[in-house]
Chains A and B, each alone.
Chain A
Amino acid sequence: MAEPTKILLFTSKSSIYFQVAMDEFQKLLKALEGVQPFSYQVIDVTEQPELAEQYKVEALPTIVIGDKRFVGQPKADDIVKIVRSGY
């Protein structure tokens, strides 16, 4: 069985996009359920800056799905479309 895809949300409570990003991320996770197995993590960059360094993330919010990254305020529907077409 294939490794579950890692889905990461990089954000920060001090970012003005924080709440919007969290909401859309929830939607995204829901939409991807059943499409394929995944694990997820929400990373607050002020608490875990070393992860931001490791993943070379600059902008908030950033969603990392496998080797794809979605930079900026996400729209779950669009991301789902891209993910579905790509896998």
Chain B
Amino acid sequence: MADPAQPVIQGSALQKTAAGSQFASSSSLLKVKTGVEGFDEIAHGGIPQGRSTLISGTSGSGKTIFSMQFLVAGIEIYAENGVFVTFEEIPDDIIKNMLGFGWDLSRYLKEGKFAFVDASPSEDESVEVGEFDLGAFLARLLHAVEKVGAKRMAIDSISALFPRYTDQAKIRRELYRIAAKLKKIGITTLITAEKIGEAEGRVGRFGVEEFVSDNVILLHNYLDEEHRDRRRSIEILKFRGTSHETQDTPLLVRSDGINVFPRPKPSYAGQKSSTVKITTGIGQLDQMLFGGYYEDSVTLISGPSGVGKTVLALQFMVEGARKGENGLFFAFEESQEQLYRNAESFGWQLRELVKEGKVKLICSVPEELKAEEHYKRIKDIVEAAHVKRFVIDSLSALERIYAPNKFREFVIGLNVYLKNKGVTSLITDTISTLLDVSEITESNLSTMADNVILIKYVEVEGKIKRALAVIKARASEHDKQLHELVIDNKGISLGKGFLGLENLMGGSAKRIEGFKNPE
């Protein structure tokens, strides 16, 4: 298995973890795993077994790759042979193209695991002289299935068949007959169909949905106007008699095939609430929080640049690792070496903790991956490395590049996921104002956080100091005083409250007249 700490780009788009191809979904209808990474999750196990499923999309939306990946995964993972029916490209070209994904079709052909039905146009001059049926085409399909003992078939693309004949209603009837025959022999078939444009309402041209109306998947390929970025996505329109996700889900075509990125699915159902508290890594902060963070809580650490948010997060992570709680630190603003150096200046051996596998450190430029990819990567590592403590530093870096709704979906989905896993999370958020704080977070995400900690600069008698306040601690008592935050060569420590001063939140402290220190 690939190192989960590595970017998912290096992973395989073929899911290799599954033991078998068949999967019983919530209903009695069996499903067949496509092996397309992420798709089987949104399909609740795969596509309906022994049925035809239509995949419709515009040119370049990934139909051919998806259907070939379904066959390749069948051979490689599930020991199910496949037949590819090609209407447009010739087999030699397909073999060459698919090598680009590392799929060696020639080998499968030699090994008798794979067969082509070459339905690409004949070079002969053809005249339609009367009524016909598609009996020869059906015979070829059945012959290929029999030859390799296929359990899977892909027909790509059925739309190319229609222009070859004048009577298109006849073609539809014939295709219906063929789909029925394929169903009878129990072969699971993907049929691709071409859509002209994204705006087109119909599933495909020529009314293709009429002959395989039971199961329909849509592939979208559109230009994201806001980000001037071409985006692909996949949507399951219907699976008759069985469940599936209904959301439009991002899809990427990469060097190893198609990856689908199921969106975060926030649900509070079944969520437990822990009563166990864990240390923040800072003794005085533990006291302010009456024992630390709840172990399944999300804490937002808000403050301007340079105020100590990263140090607070590192301290939390290092302290956890020392206690045997594995951590995952997602850094969007600093490189690995910068973080090591930063940690070493406080005497924390972060490099060693990373080497020992106690801390996973992922430094990434936010733009490197899409939100769904970041989400998936985090999930993969949390599962593989038994992560107990999680940090994102900082959220602002992500917010900068994602559309607001996507950003919220990402954050909320991630939080719900981490809570369900019982992971303690710290999320840092940079606010732009240096002294005056009018909003705790510019992302407006404080409502989803269990704890909100504000770190800010304050001016006290002409000096700039750092101050920390616990603004919110859900289901817990907490110290409401502003405390001085000191960063020295051991990390962060907190001083006493700024007694006798007021208007610290405004950034500029004033001495309270007549105040006497009780000590």
Give me the interface of A with B, judged by CB distance under 8 Å.
10, 12, 14-17, 45-46, 49-50, 52-53, 55-62, 64, 67-75, 78-79, 82
Contact with A along B91-135 (1 / 0, CB 8 A): 000000000000000000000000001111111111111111111
Given A52-B140, A53-B140, A75-B130, CB of A45 within 8 Å of CB of B135: yes
Within 8 Å CB of A62, what residues of B?
A: 132, 136
How far is it, in angstroms, between the C-alpha of A74 and the C-alpha of B119 when the chains are bound? 22
Alpha-carbon separation in the docked complex, A16 to B135 (Å): 10
Smallest Cβ-Cβ distance to B142: which chain A residue: A49
- Nearest chain-B residue to A17 (Cβ)? B131
- Asked if B124 contacts A17 (CB within 8 A), the reply is no
The CA-CA distance from A17 to B170 in the complex, in Å, is: 14
Does B126 lie within 8 Å of A53, measured CB to CB? no
Q: Determine if A69 and B125 form an interchain contact, defined as CB atoms under 8 angstroms apart.
A: yes
Within the complex, which residue of A67, A69, A72, A82 is in contact with B131, where a contact is CB–CB below 8 Å? A72
Residues of B within 8 Å of A71, CB to CB, are 126-129, 132, 165
Q: Are A53 and B143 neighbours in the complex by a CB distance under 8 Å?
A: yes
Does B133 contact A64, Cβ atoms closer than 8 Å?
Answer: no
Report if B139 contacts A (CB, 8 A).
Answer: yes
A64-B124, A67-B124 as given contacts; A72 in contact with B140, CB under 8 Å = no
A17, A53, A73: most-surrounded residue (chain B CB, <10 A): A53
Residues of chain A within 8 A of B135, CB atoms compared: 12, 14-15, 45-46, 59-60
19 contacts between A and B (CB under 8 A): A15-B135, A17-B131, A17-B132, A49-B142, A50-B143, A56-B119, A56-B122, A58-B119, A58-B137, A59-B134, A59-B137, A59-B165, A60-B133, A60-B134, A60-B135, A60-B136, A69-B126, A71-B128, A72-B128
Given A58-B161, A69-B122; 20 other pairs, CB 8 A cutoff: A12-B135, A12-B139, A15-B133, A15-B135, A45-B139, A49-B143, A52-B140, A52-B143, A56-B118, A56-B122, A57-B136, A57-B137, A60-B132, A62-B136, A64-B124, A68-B126, A72-B129, A73-B131, A73-B132, A74-B130
For residue B122, which residues in chain A have a CB less than 8 angstroms away from its CB? 55-56, 69
Residues of B within 8 A of A (CB): 117-137, 139-140, 142-144, 161, 164-165
CB atoms of B127 and A68 under 8 A apart: yes
The residue from B133, B139, B165 contacting A17, defined by CB atoms under 8 A apart: B133
Query: Would you call B142 and A59 a contact (CB within 8 A)?
Result: no
Closest to B123 in A: A67
| In the complex, chain B residues whose CB is within 8 Å of the CB of A82 | 127
Bound complex: CA A59 to CA B132 (Å): 6
Is B129 a contact partner of A70 (Cβ separation < 8 A)? yes
Is A58's CB under 8 angstroms from B130's CB? Answer: no
Task: State which of A45, A74, A78, A79 has its C-beta within 8 Å of the C-beta of B136.
Answer: A45
In the complex with contacts A45-B135, A56-B119, A59-B132, A70-B127 CB distance below 8 A? yes
- Specify which chain B residues have a CB less than 8 angstroms from the CB of A58 in the assembled complex: 119, 134, 136-137, 161, 164
A62 to B139, CA, bound (A): 14
- In angstroms, Cα B133 to Cα A69, docked, is 15
Residues of A within 8 A of B132 (CB): 17, 59-62, 71-73
Q: How near does chain A come to B138, taking the closest CB pair, in angstroms?
A: 8
A55 CB to nearest B CB, Å: 8
Cβ distance B88 to chain A, nearest Cβ, rounded Å: 13
**Chain B nearest CB, measured from A72 CB (Å):** 4
Residue of B118, B120, B135 with most chain A CB atoms under a 10 A cut-off: B135
Q: How far does the alpha carbon of A72 sit from the alpha carbon of B131 in the complex, in Å?
A: 5
User: Shortest CB–CB separation between residue B177 and chain A, in angstroms?
Assistant: 11
Which residue of chain B has its CB nearest to the CB of A11?
B135
Give the distance in Å from the alpha carbon of A53 to the alpha carbon of B115 in the complex: 12
Quick check: A75 and B129 within 8 Å, CB to CB?
yes
Q: How far is the CB of A2 from chain B (nearest CB, A)?
A: 19
Q: Is A69 in contact with B124, judged by CB distance below 8 angstroms?
A: yes
Q: Is the CB of B125 within 8 A of A10?
A: no
The residue among B125, B134, B139, B144 with the most chain A CB atoms within 10 A of its own CB is B139
The CA of A10 and the CA of B124, in the complex, are separated in Å by: 15
For B131, the chain A residues whose CB sits under 8 A away are 17, 72-73
B133 contact set on A, CB distance < 8 A: 15-17, 59-60
Q: Using CB atoms, name the residue of chain B closest to A55.
A: B122
> Given the complex, which residues of A lie within 8 Å of B139, measured CB to CB?
12, 45-46, 49, 52
Contact B125 A67 (CB under 8 A): yes
Top 10 nearest A-B pairs by Cβ distance? A73-B130, A49-B143, A72-B130, A59-B132, A60-B135, A45-B139, A58-B137, A72-B132, A56-B122, A57-B136
Contacts of B117 in A (CB 8 A): 53
User: In whole angstroms, what is the CA distance A45 to B138 when docked?
Assistant: 9
Complex: A67 Cα to B140 Cα, angstroms: 21
Q: Which residues of B contact A74 (CB under 8 A)?
A: 129-130
Chain B residues whose CB sits within 8 angstroms of the CB of A60 once the complex forms: 132-136
Q: Which residues of B contact A57 (CB under 8 A)?
A: 136-137
